[in-house]
Amino acid sequence: MGSSLTFAQTTNATKAPAATGELIVSVGPDSIIDEAAKKEAAAYKLYLADEAKKKKAEAELVAKQKPAALQAVKDKAAAEVAAKKKAEAEMMAKKKAEANVPPAKLAAAKAPEDTAAKEKAAARKAAQDKAEAEVAAKKKAEAVAAARKQLEVEMAARKKEEMAKAAADKAAAEKLAKKKADDELAAKKKAEAEQLAKNKIAAKKALDEKLAAEAAAKKKAAADMAAMKAPAKPAPPATPAVPVVKATVVAQSPAVKAPPAKPEMVKAMAGPAPGSKEQRLADLLKDYKADKISPRQYHEMRAKILAE
């Protein structure tokens, strides 16, 4: 096939040993993969080299700093030991000097120190007493505040109970007053009902009596009117005894005229005169029958007319 390589040739070129340092160029996809792998391997080697350099630098720094730190610790420990030994030596020298000094001189020398110590102790005790007094005062104030608070709580509870009792008493009093008012109202209503019933009975009785009186008055008025309208009947003349006389011939006398009627009879037949007492009584009765006046007015006016 001309210039193209066979599969065997490509495989042999790819698998050629690289120990001689010769650059092997492969053809096809395998050559591209090998190139990328080489780049990745080179980058990884650079990374490992950088990490090794960093670790080496850190180790050198630690190696340099470690002796200095150890020396500083040693110097500090030596200084503390020297100071302790110096203090012990001073203490021993002081004790030795005190042992060689006479007691009086030693007491005189110690007097200011004792005084200062006493004053210092007194001051310390005073401060301690003051602190204890302040603590005691604080505790006392707290106890007083707690007692006051407890008292306020108790007073509030007592006040609440008193208010509740007052409210209950007030409610009971209002209930009692309401019951009393209801009883009084019921009694009043009962009395009013009884009085109303009595009044109804009395009114009915009065009405019955009034109706009876009106009926009697109407009956009497009708009787009076009938009596006034009826003509007066003359009394029948007495029949004289007829004497037995002899029959004689008498000349006929002229006709005898009848006596004139009495004025009372004429008046009764002609009816009451206008404006007279009878006419006024008749008009009054007429108005009463027409219900133009009440029975009381009728009786009052009738009595007034009759009294004239």
The CA distance from 56 to 49, in Å, is 11
Torsion of CA 178, 184, 188, 194, to 10 degrees: 120
pLDDT in tens, 50-81: 999 999 998 888 888 777 777 888 888 999 99
Mean pLDDT for each consecutive 10-residue tract of the chain (308 residues)? Answer: 43 43 49 83 92 91 80 88 92 80 69 80 91 94 94 94 94 94 93 90 83 81 75 51 43 44 44 74 92 92 90
**Which residues lie closer than 8 Å to 153 by C-beta, 6 or more apart?**
none
pLDDT in tens, 257-284: 444 444 444 444 445 556 788 899 999 9
